[in-house]
Amino acid sequence: MAKVLVKGNEAIAEAAVRAGCRFFAGYPITPQNEIPEYLSWRLPEVGGVFVQGESEVASVNMVYGAAASGCRAMTSSSGPGISLKAEGISYLSGTQLPAVIVNISRGGPGLGSIQPAQQDYLQATKALGHGGFRVMVFAPSTLQEAVDLTYSAWDYAERDRNPVLILMDGCLGAIMEQVEFPEMKEPMREGTKNWSLNRVEGVHRSDRLLTPYFPEAMLEMQNKSRALMVKRWEENDVKVEEFMLDDAEFVVVAYGISARVAKEAILKLREEGYKIGMIRPITLFPFPKESFRKLDYTKVKGFIDIELAIPAQMRDDIALEVKDRAPIYEYCRSGGFLFDDDGVYTAVKKILDGGAK
């Protein structure tokens, strides 16, 4: 398919349609509003259903119901809206139902700021809802990557019968880039899925029950199964970009829009003779632990965590893998202030030259 110029939020929405998503429920909140706006007319074109719920709580529970029917279902929000959806997302996981959640993140805490930020990292990777469940978290840094990850998200969700989260900041949601959309998938017949409560006419099957409630012994068994699922993710599903690490003495760690800006600074510093590279997590969970473990710590002199969050939120995950074998520096902005090439270049160069300890 030919490349088209598209806005980030709309790219995610179209990729969802092409992946077979046929139900969306959500509630307006900046900076993700183009997703429901786009789907409000696009889903009916392909026989799907769009609902603007009366609240975020109502919307995520509509997704719960649609997922139970076997339909590929999705919701999106930002910051406070994701917090309101947290209970429903936990119920989706507890009932073993697949769905895709999109967070186009903004500043926080509280009402925060409608400007782009990366301050939902901890929420996304550590506590998306109560009960200790985990979800795979994808963090694209380009719109093509956002399209590709959204398109594949339901495959992971249905494989694991568990929600998947796409975490993208408001800057990527607003920018326009050329993307190539994948082909349109034909949705599977809903009643043929092994969790679906729908029946297929003429096909006999036993009754089914979907519930988030289990007696104690069965609940422990379910939690053990989830733990094994996470272990499989760590073994098979980690996505990461390793950039110029072969001889790197300093390693930038960044994701999303921060990684895009950092890469430009790295290329410029390389031209000046600095040995610097980058680890860019694409799956924020599971975190790319192996990328840190295989580094030569006789050569690596330090790590630089670059985030649109203050205090830095990814630093603890970095520290767990570095294990005090090298210092970790930070360059962070917050409150709606974005990185620029010169700012990142100057801050990183200061660290490399020993000006920040």
- Of the candidates 181, 203, 236, which is a domain's last residue? 236
pLDDT in tens, 282-306: 999 999 999 999 999 999 999 999 9
**Structure confidence at residue 267 (pLDDT):** 96
Rounded Cα gap, residues 84 and 66, in angstroms? 19
- Of the candidates 214, 236, 258, which is a domain's last residue? 236
Residue 26 belongs to a domain: yes
CA-wise closest residue to 103 among 161, 69, 150: 150
Rounded Cα gap, residues 79 and 282, in angstroms? 20
| The pTM of the whole model exceeds 0.75 | yes
- Of the candidates 205, 236, 267, which is a domain's last residue? 236
Identify the domain containing residue 89 by its residue range.
4-236
Cα–Cα distance list, 156 to 121, 296, 305, 321 (Å): 20, 33, 29, 26
pLDDT in tens, 47-92: 999 999 999 999 999 999 999 999 999 999 999 999 999 999 999 9
**Structure confidence at residue 178 (pLDDT):** 97
Cα–Cα distance list, 24 to 13, 117, 261 (Å): 10, 25, 32
Specify the DSSP class assigned to residue 209.
Answer: -
Peptide bond into 288 cis (omega under 30): no
Task: Tell me how many domains the chain contains.
Answer: 2
Same domain, yes or no: 265 and 152: no
Please check the confidence at residue 204 and state whether its pLDDT lies above 70: no
